[in-house]
Amino acid sequence: MLEQLSSGFVELRREEVLETIKMRIEKGEAPLSILDDARQGMILVGDQFQEGILFLAEMMLASEIFKESVAILKPYMDQSRPSKSKGKIILATLKGDIHDLGKNILSTLLEGQGFQVFDLGVDVEPTVVLEKAKEIEPDFIGFSALITTVFKYMRDAADLLEKEGLRDKIKLMVGGGVTNNTLKEHLNADFQTTDAMAGVAYCLKMMEERQHA
């Protein structure tokens, strides 16, 4: 059952995956168990991406299937106990930038790995990020960018976090087509990538290190 679902994600067999999930729900299987299997599928997708077998577009389609799977499971999951989160992350594309493709992929991949994702959307004020950070005390904050005018707001957000004494508790990540190491240094960020899966790997590694610290 697990293998069928996992291979469905890897081979992008959308209809088959969704049908399988519906069938398992109808048979009375615990939704969290089905969700875990779906997550295993996404983990396999991530592994194959890192090995260069799958490409970003395929990861994106697998993410879409995962989102649809979660939508099917959600009404049933509300009645069962919540699964334990691997960590909390705030994602945002900051003020002036409306691009969200990379951010959305990262968001779904992280959810697939069991992270609790607070996606603030696009064109977000730095102060909104700060307020959310105060509220939920995330492990990570990730900013996505495809235009350079947003660098200023990334800096503002980083400064706000610093000023409020939150920066040391949070790993700051930046990603997107216009980001590189120069920007990482400019923001004193902890991580930069143009590869969503590398972002996931970083979050997993950091949480593992934190657990062993």
Distance from CA of residue 53 to its chain's centroid?
A: 21
CA dist 33 and 22 (Å) reads 13
The minimum distance between CB 104 and other proteins, in angstroms, equals 8
- Smaller CB separation from other proteins, 34 or 191: 191
Phi, psi of 154, deg, nearest 5: -65, -45
Burial of 27 (0-12, 13-18, 19+ CB in 10 A): exposed
Per-position x/- string for 44-83, each x denoting binding to other proteins as judged by CB under 8 A, each - no binding: ----------xxxxx-xx--x-------------------
Site membership for other proteins, residue 151 (CB under 8 A):
yes
CB of 152 to other proteins, least distance (A): 7
Using the contact rule CB under 8 A, the part of the chain among 31-39, 70-78, 160-168, 180-188 near other proteins is: 180-188
Strand order across the 116-119 sheet: 116-119, 88-93, 140-144, 171-175, 191-193
Distance CA 57, CA 63 (A): 10
Q: Which of 4, 33, 80, 149 binds other proteins (CB under 8 A)?
A: 149
Give Cβ neighbours of residue 143 (< 8 Å, ≥ 6 apart): 91, 92, 93, 94, 150, 154, 157, 172, 173, 174, 175
Judged by CB under 8 A, which of 182, 188, 205, 208 binds other proteins?
182
When binding is defined by CB under 8 A, the residue of 10, 30, 77, 101 that contacts other proteins is 101
128 binds other proteins (CB under 8 A): no
For other proteins, give the closer residue by CB, 2 or 57: 57
Minimum CB distance to other proteins smaller for 25 or for 147: 147
- DSSP H or E run through 192: strand 191-193
Among 107, 117, 185, which residue's Cα sits nearest to residue 144?
Answer: 107
Judged by CB under 8 A, the residue of 98, 121, 131, 135 near other proteins is 98
Residues forming the site for other proteins (CB under 8 A): 12, 14, 54-58, 60-61, 64, 95-99, 101, 123, 147-149, 151-152, 177-180, 182-183, 186, 194
